[in-house]
Amino acid sequence: MRTATRFDRRMYAIMNQREAAPLFATAGRRRALVAAHVVLTAGAAAAWLALVVGDARWALFAMLGLLLPWVVATGAINGATRGLLELRARMLDERQRAERDRVRAIAHRITTALLLAGTAGFGALLWATEVRADGRTLFAALFAALVTHWLTPLWVAGLRADDDVRGDADDLA
């Protein structure tokens, strides 16, 4: 096993800071945090698509306005999970590595189900109506699938995180 690098130790320290703990101290707060992150992500993704596909210049300002709250929410979820998805495997114990595998497996099943439902729904729409997909629609759908695939593990980890009952003395140095 490789030893921890200075980068690993710094990332571990960042992910285990407890200053923001009140944001995610209870399951209800973590659920609200994940819900807010999903909404911020959807808003930012929609704004980006409006800017790129729809050529709407106002969307740039919407994206910039959503960026800071999105970053704060992402950091809080990472704090709630103590960096479960961000730290290298060598910085996690066996229990954490097993939990990371469970989170990724659950997220994979969720995204597979969403892709199946979306594909079936869009196929039914094409079959039953005169609607035809163009390149913009396909690009928007693929971008939404990419963002969902990328962030679902974070959302699942945030929802599965336990309440923090450990004290500062229990943390690793």
Average pLDDT over residues 94-113: 96
pLDDT in tens, 79-97: 999 999 999 999 999 999 9
pLDDT, position 4: 85
Domain locations in the chain?
8-87+94-164
pLDDT, position 173: 44
For the chain, the average pLDDT equals 90
Query: Rounded to the nearest 5 degrees, what angle is found at the Cα of 33, between the Cα atoms of 104 and 52?
Result: 75
pLDDT, position 169: 46
Residue written as tokens 């959807």?
42
Provide the pLDDT confidence category of residue 103 given band limits of 50, 70 and 90.
very high
How far from chain centre, in Å, is Cα 113? 17
Asked if the model's pLDDT at residue 130 lies above 90, the reply is: no
Asked if the model's pLDDT at residue 1 lies above 70, the reply is: no
Give the C-alpha separation, 167 to 20, whole Å. Answer: 14
Residues 170, 45: contact at Cβ < 8 Å?
no
Residues 160, 103: contact at Cβ < 8 Å?
yes
pLDDT in tens, 61-71: 999 999 999 99
